[in-house]
């Protein structure tokens, strides 16, 4: 089966003069109904990548190379008209500031009607029924359909934005920290609802988050970015026990201890590199406890090993599987 999403060697810069090379050479596939979590420290390029996959990148961001295919369509050459259509039917995006995406001068109900009517859904009752159904998924009562955004809390608006993104049954939902405005209990509940919902009505999800703990628990696959590159990808089931990249290992060490959630936990020493000049070296080398000379003189490729994709010269020797391919 072809993947739903295929991203090949995607690179994105900010600016033309002295650009920030925010995303470099990213290749990624997402299968139909797969839930992929994308994690990494602030500034590693998660949102830049998520936006570009939806072709919502705006200047100064520009895709400098690479390919994006979604549901068999070349996402790089789609006409603006087709793109507008596809953006709701094929793919929906919930942004970090999703709650601000709601129109302040329309009731919530009118916004559901608008989106559905623009995409050929007719019949007031049917539209309302579908709106109530998706609102229920995020635990919002139908009464809000008569309300305006300013009458609602931030958390409610965020959940409504999630519901709105689901209303046309997209094949792929990209969520960028959609739940940071919500308290932890509500956040977990919504994600669990979404997961349950995906069993009845499958869609693929690219879920962008700082919270590796949450992603490990809920996603099928975890993709870890560091300084604009993918450094590791593996099944969430196996990652907690066996993270290979030293950066992933550091992220896992810095997870709060479930036995002592309020205790202090280790941050990762050092800070991410400047992305104006990319050295011919592993980007993590300056912070890596396992660094060797070779790491400082060549950029390790992302090796696709049996159960993990890994960008690390040192640890790839340790993975007890045959090398299949490299990119």
What residues make contact with Mg ion under the rule CB under 5 A? 47
Q: Which run of H or of E encompasses 270? A: none
Task: Out of 22, 39, 282, 305, point to the residue binding ligand ATP (CB under 6 A).
Answer: 22
Query: Which residue, 44 or 191, has its beta carbon nearer to Mg ion?
Result: 44
Q: Which is nearer to ligand ATP, 52 or 305 (CB)?
A: 52
Q: Which is nearer to ligand ATP, 17 or 260 (CB)?
A: 17
Q: Which is nearer to ligand ATP, 99 or 145 (CB)?
A: 99
The rounded distance, in Å, linking the Cα atoms of 178 and 182 is 9
Q: How many residues bind ligand ATP (CB under 6 A)?
A: 14
Q: Please count the CA atoms within 13 angstroms of the CA of 252 that sit on its side-chain side.
A: 18
Question: 22 is in the binding site of which of Mg ion, ligand ATP, none (Cβ under 5 to 8 A by kind)?
Answer: ligand ATP
Instruction: Sketch the per residue contact string, 55 through 74, with ligand ATP: x for CB under 6 A, - otherwise.
Output: -----x--------------
φ and ψ of 289, to 5 deg: -70, -15
Using rule CB under 6 A, residue 24 touches ligand ATP: no
Binding-residue pattern over the window 215 to 244 for ligand ATP, x denoting contact by CB under 6 A: ------------------------------
Residues that bind ligand ATP (CB under 6 A): 14, 20, 22, 40, 42-48, 60, 210, 275
């Amino acid at each position: 089966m072809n993947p739903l999403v295929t991203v090949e060697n995607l690179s994105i810069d900010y600016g033309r003069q002295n650009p920030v090379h925010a995303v470099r050479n990213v290749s990624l596939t997402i299968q139909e109904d797969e839930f992929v979590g994308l994690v990494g420290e602030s500034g590693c390029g998660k949102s830049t990548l998520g936006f570009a996959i939806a072709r919502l990148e705006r200047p100064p961001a520009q895709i400098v190379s690479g390919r994006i295919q979604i549901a068999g369509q070349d996402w790089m050459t789609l006409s603006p008209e087709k793109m507008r259509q596809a953006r709701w039917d094929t793919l929906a995006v919930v942004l970090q500031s999703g709650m601000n995406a709601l129109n302040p001068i329309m009731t919530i109900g009118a916004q559901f009607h608008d989106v559905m009517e623009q995409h050929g859904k007719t019949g007031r009752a049917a539209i309302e029924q579908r709106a109530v159904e998706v609102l229920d998924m995020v635990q919002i009562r139908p009464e809000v359909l008569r309300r305006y955004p300013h009458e609602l809390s931030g958390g409610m608006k965020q959940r409504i934005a999630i519901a709105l993104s689901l209303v046309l049954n997209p094949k792929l939902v990209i969520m960028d920290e959609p739940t940071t405005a919500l308290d932890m209990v509500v956040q977990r509940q919504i994600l669990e609802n979404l997961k349950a919902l995906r069993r009845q009505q499958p869609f693929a999800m690219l879920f962008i988050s700082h919270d590796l703990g949450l992603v490990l628990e809920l996603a099928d696959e975890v993709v870890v970015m560091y300084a604009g590159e993918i450094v590791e990808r593996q099944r969430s089931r196996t990652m907690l026990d066996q993270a290979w990249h030293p950066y992933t290992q550091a992220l896992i060490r810095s997870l709060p201890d479930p036995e002592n959630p309020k205790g202090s936990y280790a941050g990762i020493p050092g800070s991410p590199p400047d992305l104006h000049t990319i050295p011919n070296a592993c980007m993590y080398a300056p912070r890596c406890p396992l660094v060797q000379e070779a790491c400082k003189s060549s950029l390790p490729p992302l090796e696709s090993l049996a159960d993990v994709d890994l960008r690390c010269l040192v640890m790839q020797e340790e993975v007890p599987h045959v090398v299949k391919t490299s990119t």
